[in-house]
Amino acid sequence: MAIPSQDIGIQVAVEFESIGFRASVEKDKVIKDWTCYCIKILTPRYSEVIVI
């Protein structure tokens, strides 16, 4: 997701990591925007997907 700054991106990443996601914050080299990537790998089960 697009974020306004590295500091806010780190805060977002910490929140997502607390609920089981892997998260990273990166700055685009060309357009200089910050992005927070959040990933969660799971076996799709309705009960788990609906919680997210």
pLDDT in the model for residue 4: 95
Task: Please give the backbone phi and psi of residue 4, each rounded to the nearest 5 degrees, phi first.
Answer: -80, -20
Instruction: Provide the token pair at 36.
Output: 């927070």
Dist. CA 39–CA 29, nearest whole Å: 22
- pLDDT digit string, tens, across residues 8-19: 999 999 999 999
Mean pLDDT of the chain: 92
Show me where the domains of the chain are located: 2-51
In this prediction, residue 50 has a pLDDT band, given cuts at 50, 70 and 90, of confident
Dist. CA 31–CA 21, nearest whole Å: 26
Query: Is residue 52 scored above 80 in pLDDT?
Result: no
Q: Give the end-to-end CA distance of the chain in Å, rounded to a whole number.
A: 16
